[in-house]
A = this chain, B = another copy of it.
Amino acid sequence: MTHIRVRSLVVESARPSEPCAACDARPFSVCNAIDQRDIERLAALAASLTVEAGRTFIEEGDPAEHFFNVTAGTAKLFKLLPDGRRQITGFAPMGTFLGLAVSSTYAFGAEAVEPMRICRFSRFKLRALLDDFPAMEKRLLEVASNELVAAQEQMLLLGRKTARERLASFLVTRAACTANGATPCGHRAAEKVTLPMTRSDIADYLGLTIETVSRTLTRFKTERLIDIPSASEIVMRDHAALESLATGLH
């Protein structure tokens, strides 16, 4: 396998045969708005990259030259204040389309939480291609609308929920998204939730500190709401109680 280092990311020469056709992420992604026979045009634009865990592949403020599609692994999206305070605005699992923005620079940074594979498109070229595929543009609007709804929910969490409610919301949402079968956001709540991110990431996502996250989780454990077999695994023991906590009922 040939690797070429470009801007500190590993670029693989796009396999000529089945670049998009055999993509694991396609069923979860905006790409599936384009049908089989047109997919090659999209594939021609895509560069497949590998991103190692911990690597920042979008730098806030950099010129926004690319769109990305997460094909494996998870990224965290974040904004920073000059003194280092960080707000993680979301996690981007497989299938997530990144880089929607009208501005010419990225409004947020992105860093791999786990080893990732991403698909990279030239913003300029994709824009031209979108004119030919209104179905994909429609899909993008849907995606953006959904993210807007999620963002509003997160504002409610950050502005008005207690630490307990935030953690409960986080776990419940994760459980819904990790659900059995489909990886990104199925609809049956999972028993076991895997947390690929660190406590620090969770804290920065929920507007708390590491210590509060840790304490709150251990308190949930003593209250028999969850089990914590390992730091990155949570078992939901009382889903109903967590859900009502998440919605603000005590």
Contacts and interface: CB of A to CB of B under 8 A. Distances in A.
Interface of A: 77, 79, 81-83, 85-87, 89, 100-103, 107-108, 131, 134, 137-138, 140-142, 144-149, 151-156, 158-161, 204, 206-207, 247-249
A87 B154 CA distance: 10
A155 B156 contact: no
B87 A145 contact: no
Nearest to A89: B152
Contact of A160 (B138, B155, B159, B207): B207
Given A82-B248, A140-B141, A248-B82, A156 B100 contact: no
A149 B87 contact: no
A186 to B, nearest CB: 17
Chief secondary structure at chain A's binding surface: helix
B137 A79 contact: no
Contacts of A151: 148, 151-152, 155
A240 to B, nearest CB: 15
The 9 A-B pairs of least Cβ separation, nearest first, read A159-B207, A81-B248, A158-B158, A151-B151, A144-B144, A87-B156, A87-B159, A107-B149, A85-B160
Contacts of A89: 152, 155-156
A197 to B, nearest CB: 15
Contacts of A82: 247-249
Contacts of A147: 148
Contact of A108 (B83, B144, B152): B152
A108 B150 CA distance: 11
Instruction: Indicate the member of A77, A144, A151 with the most B CB atoms within 10 Å.
Output: A144
A76 to B, nearest CB: 13
A98 to B, nearest CB: 11
A148 B149 contact: no
Given A81-B156, A100-B141, 16 more contacts: A79-B152, A79-B153, A86-B160, A89-B152, A100-B145, A100-B148, A101-B145, A102-B142, A107-B152, A134-B134, A144-B144, A148-B148, A151-B151, A151-B155, A155-B158, A159-B204
B81 A160 contact: yes
Contacts of A144: 100, 141, 144-145, 148
A8 to B, nearest CB: 25
A99 to B, nearest CB: 10
